[in-house]
C-alpha cells in the first residue's frame, strides 16, 4: 500500500468534438453522417490539385460559443496551420489545424462532483478538419470513405490537472453535457462524433515536475476512458517500480479485448512539420461576434442545476437528472411555470417522461405530452381529482392520443371515486369475495390491509380515493365493525 502511494497519476485530455454545422469546415459539402460512401465530397475536401479551403463561419461561431461558455480568451486573430503526415484518410496528406496561435486559450470547465465543486483548467480550444474513414476489407483491400473528411472539429485540450481515471470520466461527461447543451456537438462517443485521447504520466506526490507522458487514443466510451487510464497507470507504475524509465509512446484502446496496444513507440514519433497554412489568412474574430455569441449563451448547465436546487428546493440528484439535457430542464421548468408543484413535477418528468423517451426514442422538444398538459395532470393528482394510479394511466393515454388530461379523465371516467356510499359498496364486495383474508385480518394479520386496498383500487379501475378506501376497509373489518 505504501508503494502504491509512491506515485500519483497526472492526466490530461484532448477531446475532439464534431461540430453540428450544416456544411464542412472548408467547403460547402453537407456535414452529414450516414450517407452512401463518397457522396458528400467535392474538390476541396478530396484535396484535388488546385482546390483551396474557405472557412465556414458557422463553425467559427460555434467554436467561439464554446470558448465563451468556458471562459476562454478568444484570439482576435488565430492562425490555421498545416500538420503534415501521410495517411490515406487524409487526402491532402496534411490536416488543417491550429498550432501556435489557437482560437481559444485558457478557460476552465466547472462542475459539481460528488465530493464538491470542481474546476478543470483548459489549455486551449482550436478548430481543425476531420479525416475520412478507412474501411478495411478482407483480402488486403482497403477502401476510403471521404464523407467525413473536412467535417469541422473542435479540439479541447485540458491542462494536465486530472488526478485519477474517474475524475477524467466525470470531466468528459460534463464536457459532453456542455457541448450538447450549447447545441454544437451531439456527443456520441460510440459513433465518434466525440473522441477522446488521453495523456498520462506519473510523478512522486508533491513533486512539481511532470513525468514522461504517454498517449492513449481511440477511447470510445466513458468506461473505456477509465479502464484505459487505469491500465496505463498500472503499466507505468510497474516500469518505474522496476527501476525503469517511461518512454514516450502512443497506444490504442482495443475495445473488444479491453486492452492497450502500442501504436507508435518513441522511435516512430512523427515530425508533423507544422507551418502556417498559406491558403488561409489569419482567422479574424471580431469583438462583435464574441459579444453576440456570449450574449446568446443559454444559462449553462451547472448554473441551472444549482438554481433548480435553490429555487425549487430539489434534491441534488433530481437537479442533476433534469439538467442532463437542456431540453429536459426546459421541459421541467415550463411545467412548473404552468402550475406543477416542483417536486411533483420533477418526479413526473424523471419517471414517466424520461422513461417513455427512453422507450420510444425521440427528442424531448417533440415529446407528445406538452409541459402544459403535464402540469395539468400533475395538478389533477395533487388536487386529489384523480389518484396517482389513475394519473399514470391518463399519462399513457395522453402519450397515445395527444389529448389534454381533463379530456382523458372524462372519457375514461377516471375521476377520483370519493363517494363514501359507492366506495362502501365496493369495499363490501371485495371483503365478501375474500372471506379467508378477511378472517385472517380480523385474527390480527394487519398487513392484509394493503391487499384489500389494492383489491379496491383494482375494482375501481384505479379511481378509488386510496385514503378513503383504507378508512372504510379498516372500519368494516374492525372488531364489531361487522358486515351488514
Partner 1 sequence: MPDGGYSDLSVRGIEELYRRGGARPSDVVGSCLDAIEAKDGIVGAFVEVFREEALARARELDGEDSRGRPLFGVPVAVKDNICTRLMPTSCGSRILRGYRPPYDATAVSRLRAAGAVIVGKTNMDEFAMGSSTEHSSSHPTRNPWDTDCAPGGSSGGSAAAVAAGMVPLALGSDTGGSIRQPASFCGVTGIKGTWGRVSRYGLVAFASSLDQIGPIAADVDGCARALRAIAGADGIDSTALADPCPALEGGGEAALDGMRIGVPSSIKGIDLDPSVSAALAAAVRHAAEAGSRVAEVDLPDLGLTIACYYVIAAAEASSNLARYDGVRFGMRVGSDTLGEMYARTRSAGFGEEVKRRILLGTFVLSSGYHDQYYGRACEVRERIRDCYRRLFGSIDLLILPTAPGPAFRLGERLDDPVAMYLSDIFTTPASVAGLPAVSIPAGLSADGLPVGLQLIAAGGREDLIVRGASALERAFAFRRRCVPGGSGGGGRS
Smallest distance, partner 1 to C-beta of residue 259, A:
25
By the rule CB under 8 A, 152 interacts with partner 1: no
Segment lying near partner 1 (by CB under 8 A), choices 79-87, 215-223, 451-459, 476-484: 79-87
Binding mask 388-407 for partner 1 (x = CB under 8 A): --------------------
Alpha carbon distance 396, 408 (integer Å) = 10
Smallest distance, partner 1 to C-beta of residue 272, A:
8
Smallest distance, partner 1 to C-beta of residue 283, A:
10
By the rule CB under 8 A, 86 interacts with partner 1: yes
Smallest distance, partner 1 to C-beta of residue 267, A:
14
Segment lying near partner 1 (by CB under 8 A), choices 92-100, 222-230, 251-259, 426-434: 92-100
Q: Which is nearer to partner 1, 279 or 311 (CB)?
A: 279
Q: Which is nearer to partner 1, 93 or 401 (CB)?
A: 93
**110 φ, ψ (degrees, to nearest 5):** -110, 140
Q: Which is nearer to partner 1, 88 or 117 (CB)?
A: 88
Binding mask 94-113 for partner 1 (x = CB under 8 A): x-------------------
Smallest distance, partner 1 to C-beta of residue 57, A:
12
Binding mask 250-279 for partner 1 (x = CB under 8 A): ---------------------x-xxx--xx
Binding mask 26-55 for partner 1 (x = CB under 8 A): -----------------xx-xxxxxxxxxx
Q: Please work out the total of residues on this chain that contact partner 1, with binding judged by CB under 8 A.
A: 30
Which residues, numbered 276-305, are part of the site for partner 1 (CB under 8 A)? 278-281
Smallest distance, partner 1 to C-beta of residue 238, A:
31
By the rule CB under 8 A, 140 interacts with partner 1: yes
Smallest distance, partner 1 to C-beta of residue 166, A:
36
Q: Which residues bind partner 1 (CB under 8 A)?
A: 43-44, 46-55, 82, 84, 86, 88, 91-94, 140, 144, 271, 273-275, 278-281
Amino acid at each position: 500500500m505504501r508503494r502504491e502511494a509512491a506515485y500519483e497519476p497526472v492526466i490530461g485530455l484532448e477531446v475532439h468534438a464534431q461540430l453540428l454545422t450544416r456544411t464542412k469546415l472548408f467547403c460547402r459539402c453537407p456535414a452529414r453522417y450516414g450517407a452512401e460512401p463518397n457522396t458528400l465530397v467535392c474538390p476541396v475536401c478530396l484535396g484535388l490539385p488546385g482546390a483551396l479551403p474557405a472557412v465556414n463561419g458557422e463553425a467559427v461561431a460555434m467554436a467561439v460559443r464554446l470558448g465563451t461558455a468556458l471562459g476562454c480568451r478568444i484570439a482576435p486573430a488565430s492562425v490555421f496551420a498545416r500538420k503534415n503526415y501521410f495517411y490515406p484518410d487524409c487526402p491532402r496528406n496534411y490536416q488543417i489545424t491550429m498550432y501556435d496561435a489557437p482560437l481559444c486559450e485558457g478557460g476552465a470547465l466547472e462542475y459539481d462532483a460528488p465530493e464538491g465543486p470542481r474546476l478543470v483548467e483548459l489549455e486551449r480550444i482550436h478548430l481543425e478538419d476531420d479525416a475520412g474513414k478507412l474501411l478495411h476489407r478482407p483480402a488486403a483491400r482497403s477502401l476510403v470513405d471521404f464523407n467525413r473528411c473536412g467535417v469541422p472539429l473542435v479540439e479541447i485540450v485540458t491542462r494536465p490537472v486530472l488526478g485519477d481515471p474517474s475524475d477524467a470520466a466525470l470531466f468528459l461527461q460534463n464536457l459532453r453535457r456542455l457541448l450538447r447543451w450549447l447545441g454544437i456537438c451531439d456527443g456520441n462517443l460510440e459513433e465518434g462524433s466525440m473522441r477522446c485521447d488521453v495523456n498520462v504520466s506519473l510523478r512522486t506526490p508533491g513533486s512539481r515536475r511532470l513525468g514522461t507522458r504517454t498517449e492513449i487514443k481511440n477511447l470510445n466510451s466513458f468506461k473505456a476512458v477509465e479502464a484505459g487510464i487505469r491500465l496505463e497507470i498500472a503499466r507505468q507504475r510497474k516500469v518505474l517500480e522496476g527501476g525503469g524509465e517511461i518512454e514516450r509512446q502512443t497506444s490504442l484502446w482495443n475495445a473488444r479485448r479491453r486492452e492497450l496496444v502500442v501504436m507508435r513507440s518513441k522511435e516512430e514519433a512523427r515530425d508533423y512539420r507544422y507551418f502556417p497554412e498559406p491558403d488561409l489568412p489569419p482567422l479574424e474574430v471580431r469583438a462583435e461576434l464574441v459579444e453576440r455569441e456570449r450574449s446568446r449563451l443559454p444559462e449553462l448547465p451547472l448554473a441551472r442545476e444549482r438554481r433548480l436546487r435553490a429555487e425549487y428546493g430539489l434534491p441534488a440528484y433530481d437537479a442533476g437528472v433534469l439538467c442532463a439535457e437542456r431540453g429536459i430542464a426546459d421541459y421541467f421548468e415550463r411545467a412548473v411555470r404552468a402550475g406543477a408543484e416542483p417536486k411533483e413535477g420533477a418526479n413526473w418528468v424523471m419517471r414517466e417522461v424520461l422513461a417513455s423517451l427512453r422507450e420510444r426514442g425521440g427528442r424531448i422538444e417533440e415529446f407528445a405530452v406538452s409541459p402544459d398538459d403535464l402540469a395539468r395532470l400533475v395538478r389533477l393528482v395533487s388536487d386529489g381529482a384523480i389518484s396517482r394510479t389513475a394519473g399514470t394511466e391518463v399519462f399513457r393515454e395522453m402519450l397515445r392520443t395527444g389529448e389534454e388530461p381533463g379530456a382523458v379523465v372524462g372519457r375514461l371516467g377516471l375521476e377520483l371515486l370519493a363517494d363514501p356510499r359507492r366506495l362502501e359498496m365496493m369495499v363490501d364486495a371485495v371483503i365478501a369475495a375474500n372471506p379467508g383474508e378477511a378472517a385472517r385480518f380480523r385474527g390480527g394479520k394487519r398487513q392484509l390491509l394493503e391487499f384489500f386496498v389494492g383489491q379496491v383500487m383494482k375494482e375501481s379501475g384505479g379511481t378509488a380515493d386510496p385514503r378513503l378506501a383504507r378508512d372504510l376497509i379498516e372500519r368494516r373489518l374492525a372488531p364489531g365493525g361487522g358486515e351488514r
